Structure 1
Amino acid sequence: MSAPLVVFAVGNPSRGDDALGPVLCGRLAEWLENEGLAGQVELVEDFQLQIEHALDLVGRDLALFIDAGAGTPAPYAFRRIAPAAGIAHTTHELPPEAVLQVYRQTEGGEPPPAFVLCVRGESFELGEPLSAAAEAHAAAAFACLQRLCRAPRLDAWRTEAGHAALAA
């Protein structure tokens, strides 16, 4: 049986602030274990989203995509997303909306409600560590992740997205 919530953490740990997704995934894994919530959440960490990730959505109640963004309002943006066709550049690198569309096409139904937590990054140079600004943004995003995982329900996540939109 699948965990009701799947979290995709995307990014390259070797490219400065692009490591925000994997860093938050590691922190979240530890926190979920300590809180006794690990069985309720499946964490999927990868360098980028691919069409195969649509299969990770099967049987889920909610999905969350975590990534870093250069132009994202600080410290992060949290919003609901929907399937969208025609926005992929290749089949090897997809935005979350395209993964949802692949699910729709392959499974013949609607994907679970999905959200994006995009954390502002400042520096994405190869071989660089997380910037000080990204560390601060990660701390704020992690507090959001804790709220989301304590209340893995669509109504609670919609409320959180509304609060995030007002703060931006």
Structure 2
Amino acid sequence: MVAPLLIVAVGNPSRGDDALGPALVERLRAAGVDADGTVELLVDFQLQVEHALDLVGRRAVLFVDAARPGTVDGVVLQPVTADDAAPLWSHALRPQAVLAVYAQVQRQPPPPAWLLAIEGRDFALGEGLGDAAHQRLGAAETKVQDWLRERAGARVSRRIT
């Protein structure tokens, strides 16, 4: 059985703040968000076309990634949709491209998806998370917990109607 909610975090733990996504998943696991089987946590270095298969059977998907300074301010959660114009031949895809691959392969719209972008500052090889990145993890975890509560609320309201 597939968990209805999927959180996909991407990042390289060996490249400083690029490890924000995997570090957030570690915190979520420690908090037990995947304990009841309604949430699956997935970590990878980068998104690839194969990740479209991970979306099959999901009710909602949250992508988590570090962002370069200037692209976001702190922690930003926003919906994302399939983008047919996104390049699909790369080894590293944006979430919009993964959603487009899903739509092509499954011949149906992808599940609703969001991107949680966490601002990083230092992406140097061999470095750990910086102080600012550690501070942003708390805000990111709060946003994920809120996102999960909203998805749980949607599940309840569907049963009632």
TM-score, normalised via structure 1 length = 0.85
Q: What SS class does the counterpart of residue 51 from structure 1 fall into?
A: coil
Structure 2 CA distance, aligned partners of 1:65 and 1:20? Answer: 12
Matched residue, 2:85: 86
Q: What SS class does the counterpart of residue 84 from structure 1 fall into?
A: coil
Following superposition, which runs of at least 4 residues in structure 1 exceed 4 angstroms of deviation? none
Matched residue, 1:121: 120
User: 2:114 corresponds to which letter in structure 1?
Assistant: F
Aligned length: 154
TM-superposition CA deviations, 1:40-79 (whole Å, max 9, x none): 1111100000000000000100000000001333321110
TM-superposition CA deviations, 1:102-130 (whole Å, max 9, x none): 00000000000000000000100001111
Structure 2 CA distance, aligned partners of 1:86 and 1:53? Answer: 18
Consecutive unaligned residues of structure 2, counting only runs of 5 or more, are 155-161
Shift, 1:151, TM fit: 2.9
Contact 2:88 2:97 in 1 (8 A): no
Matched residue, 1:143: 142
Q: What SS class does the counterpart of residue 152 from structure 1 fall into?
A: helix
State the Cα RMSD in Å. 1.9
Structure 2 CA distance, aligned partners of 1:64 and 1:154? Answer: 16
The correspondence for 2:60, drawn from 53, 62, 65, is 62
Consecutive unaligned residues of structure 1, counting only runs of 5 or more, are 156-168
Contact 2:88 2:101 in 1 (8 A): no
User: 2:32 corresponds to which letter in structure 1?
Assistant: L
Matched residue, 1:44: 42
Higher percent of residues as helix: 1
Contact 1:74 1:137 in 2 (8 A): no
> Does residue 25 in structure 1 map to residue 25 in structure 2?
yes
Q: State the percentage of identical aligned residues.
A: 46
> Does residue 3 in structure 1 map to residue 6 in structure 2?
no
TM-score, normalised via structure 2 length = 0.89
Structure 2 CA distance, aligned partners of 1:12 and 1:32? Answer: 23
